[in-house]
Amino acid sequence: MFRTFSYLGSVASSIVTGVVFRHEVTDTGLHLVAAILARVSLVLIALTLFERSLRSKA
């Protein structure tokens, strides 16, 4: 699982980099990459918080 998600993250980062910096590397593109990463992080945090199987059964 670790290796699979490592590969998926690598492919996803290559796609984002290729789409954002298609023509040239700019500060605006860097800010766009940061915004995309922040949104993806928030979605993953929300999914983790709302996952019922991770809650303690005490």
Number of domains in the chain: 1
Report the predicted TM-score, pTM, of the whole model to 2 decimal places: 0.74
CA 57 to chain centre: 30
Assigned token pair, 57: 């059964």
Q: Which domain holds residue 14?
A: 2-54
Assigned token pair, 53: 């199987």
Q: What is the pLDDT of residue 32?
A: 95
Three-state DSSP state, 29? helix
b/e burial code for range 9-46 (CB count within 10 A of at least 16 → b): eeeeeeeeeeebeeeeeeeebeeebeeeeeeeeeeeee
Q: In this predicted model, what pLDDT tens digit does every residue of 4-49 receive, in sequence order?
A: 999 999 999 999 999 999 999 999 999 999 999 999 999 999 999 9
Q: What is the pLDDT of residue 58?
A: 61
